[in-house]
Structures are given as C-alpha cells and as structure tokens.
Amino acid sequence: MSRDAIIINSYGVQGKIVKRSEEVRDFPNLTDEQKKEEFQKVPDYLKHCTKIDGIMPTNQPVVTSVDYDMDKGIKYITTVKEKHIFDTPDKKGASKKYKETVMTEERFPENISQHELKCMEKDELMNRIQKEVDEVDLDTIKGKEDILKFANGNGYISNTEKKRRAVLLLKQLDPVLKERFEQEKKEYKEKKAIIWTNESGKGKSELLNEINKMSIPYYERPRITSLEIANL
C-alpha cells in the first residue's frame, strides 16, 4: 500500500483508501425552492457557513461492508463517500461549473464493543435454536409437556436459553395449533349437523342433550411461565 493510500480520520484512526473512481453525472440545476429545502436540512449551527450549490448535493456516505476479525476484536468498516469537483472559472465573479463526482472507498478499523459482541452471541444462539426448531416434527408436540421437554434441551443450559427455546417453538407451533383448532371446529359442526338430521325419531330435547354432551372446540395458546422454566 502506497503512502498516499493511508488516511487518518477525525478521531486520529489510521485507515486506507481501497478504491477511487470518477464519473460525470447529469445534474439538474436546483430551483430556488429546492435550494431552500436543502438549506433547511442543514443543522442550525452550520447554517452560517453553508452555501448550497446550484446542483444536486452528493449522496450521504454508505457503508458497503463490515469485516470482523474476532481474534483481534476489530472490525473493518468500508464506506463509500462522494465529492463533487468543480472547474474554477478564470473570470472573477463567474460561476464555477460542475466537472465530475469522485467516489472514494475508505476502510477504517474499529474495536468491537462488548454490546456488539453480546448481540452477535445472541444472534448466533437464536439461529442455532431456530435450526433445531425447524427440525422438530410439530405433529409430535401435543401439549405443554412436550414444549417444556424441548425447552430443557440437554439440561445443562441457562434458564434464559430454555425460555428462548420455548418461545421460538411456540412461534413455529402457532399456525399448527390454529389449523388443528379449525379442523376440530369443522368436525364439531359436521357432527352437530348429523345429530340434527338424525332420522331415529328422537325428540328435540334428546337431540339437544346429545349435542350438549359433545365437547366444544376451544383454542388456547400454551402459556409457559418463568417458574415452569426454572423448575426444569
């Protein structure tokens, strides 16, 4: 890497220019109204030294990639910045003209914070649990006991992880439970209709007694409490 490619940001951190490219854009001139709108976006403390050019402003810097070096505890952030280049007029008072736009790809190292590490660990855990949930045959989950059994895992995990296992399984199980309920409700209506159309000669009161003896489908999402998790 040449010395010209080495740069230092406002925090004194040394980085490097990965790539630089130029392009000429077809910029429309801003109307007076558009200039006012752009000026209003500028923070109040910068308005006194801000001048809005007659062309569209550059795009905001964009992060294109983040590469992690977990051994060193550092992440390398690559950002693309834009800058308009203008031709300086020879005549005094003449307006400068747009020449081109330069895109600079910069890469700086940054320490991985403890908060980010914990978030990454949580994401990794949740992805691993979700993979296990995806492999579960949901037809084998009949009640709360089966859910708690899955939540317990190998029995050597924290209560927090057990709770997350239960939550993810319940989330996956929800549409299955609702489908079961809809099927039970359908079967209940069909059985009820068969009783009413029974030609056995039974009276209305007898038919009502038969219907009342039928169990009415009821949907209730299993609720796993913190106490139940702690007692696993």
Q: Domain count of the chain?
A: 2
Closest CA to 81 of 64, 98, 66: 64
What are the DSSP E strand ranges found in 73-224? 74-87, 97-111
Domain range for 220: 116-230
My answer on whether 146 and 100 are in the same domain is no
Q: Looking at the DSSP assignment, which residues form a beta bridge with residue 163?
A: none
My answer on whether 83 and 160 are in the same domain is no
My answer on whether 107 and 187 are in the same domain is no
This model's pTM is above 0.75: no
Q: Looking at the DSSP assignment, which residues form a beta bridge with residue 111?
A: 74
Per-residue model confidence as pLDDT tens digits over 93-119: 666 778 889 999 999 999 999 999 999
My answer on whether 157 and 219 are in the same domain is yes
Per-residue model confidence as pLDDT tens digits over 30-60: 777 877 887 888 888 877 777 776 667 788 8
My answer on whether 170 and 203 are in the same domain is yes
My answer on whether 226 and 128 are in the same domain is yes
My answer on whether 106 and 139 are in the same domain is no
My answer on whether 99 and 127 are in the same domain is no
My answer on whether 124 and 94 are in the same domain is no
Examine the fold and report which residue of 85, 111, 137 is the final residue of a domain before the chain moves on.
111
My answer on whether 20 and 94 are in the same domain is yes
